[in-house]
Amino acid sequence: MQTYDVVVIGAGAMGSAAARALAAADREVLVLEQYELGHNRGGSHGGTRLFRLAIDDEAELLRAEQSRALWEELESETGVRMLDLVGGVDHGVDEHQVREFEEQFRRHGIDHEVLDPAEATERWPGMRFETKVLYQPKSGRALADQALTAIRESARNLGVEFRPSCPVTGLKLAGAADGLVDLETPAGPVRARQVVVTAGPWAPRILGGHLELPAITVSQEQPRFFAPLDPDSAWPVFVHRRRGGGPLDAATVYGVFEEGHGVKVGMHATGAVIELDQRDFTVEPKRDAALIAYVRDWFPGVDVTRSEAISCLYDNTERGDFVIDRRGPISVATGFHGEGFKFVPLVARYLSALVTGTGSPPTAFAL
């Protein structure tokens, strides 16, 4: 069987970007994907993601700033636009939190404004505000579909081989002496000097205990696209940090405008916990009704009667930490729970450093 320097398992955003980074480091890379490229069963499909800087953890905010610079490098190298910095707003934040964010932003030279509700409403009449609004002009949209297409094309140009519809059905160490890893696939066995598992919630199943992971649960989330009343309205990316009685009343709400679809609004991490083999893409009525009621109350600029439900998958660790780790010839990145896309080029750099032995991820990202 052919032996590759690195086999990456999972061709979503993290895996494709990691493969590209490893090929740029002169590694021969094969990517195995269990479904077709661009499938909708995981967490990488769709046109847009939020890229935002109002992050409670200061170290994570700085990683977002690092990621922004790396996205810009990718744009320069590929000639494809990947970030659209339309600005971002956070509201529902109490006065103390607003001051903390301001201090944090000032410390690191991050542009920002604090607006009164009336000022914010005048600027973005499609939304309603009741508290101070924290505006970050360097936040915006990650253009996910076109970014991922460009990353894969760049990876191919660097020699990466992609094999879609080729699931890994077995993983074992070939022997302690040579440190190789044997992978079983329906198309035949593959051998690798190093393996990188970027298969989202499928990672524990693939690893089979070769690398210990924290417990990962899978949830099926159900945001909606809502049609804007004024097609020329400006829409920043937004996060509403709510406080309420029940889980759905207190859920953090996020959203982004996407051309051709409308304003995507979702309640973060409120979806039903599911088994991977039982995912049905079906909208759960109670959660859906709560989302529609919220949008009717807070978004005067959309038509709640014209909307489309969509489905996405979160892989969640108990503490909400990302997992990036390595044991011997096996590295893994998982647990990104719907917030990882903005970090794609940075995670790719971490994984490349793990594989090539040139560095390690920060402890907050690892086990």
For residue range 124-134, list pLDDT tens digits in order. Answer: 999 999 999 99
**204-213 pLDDT tens trace:** 999 999 999 9
pLDDT tens digits, 168-201: 999 999 865 568 999 999 999 999 999 999 999 9
Q: Which two tokens stand for residue 297?
A: 């109350």
pLDDT in tens, 25-55: 999 999 999 999 999 999 999 999 999 999 9
What mean pLDDT do residues 248-266 have?
97
Round to whole Å and give the CA distance between 155 and 207. Answer: 25
pTM of the entire structure? 0.95
Per residue in 220-256, pLDDT (tens digit) is: 999 999 999 999 999 999 999 998 888 899 999 999 9
pLDDT tens by residue, 346-361: 999 999 999 999 876 6
- Can you state the angle between helices 58-78 and 344-356, rounded to 10 degrees? 90
Q: What's the one-letter identity of residue 84? A: D
Choose among 99, 80, 102, 49: nearest CA to 342: 49
- DSSP-derived secondary structure letter, 283: P
Extract the tokens encoding 212. 């210990």
Contact 45, 313 (CB under 8 A): no
Q: Is the pLDDT of residue 107 over 50?
A: yes
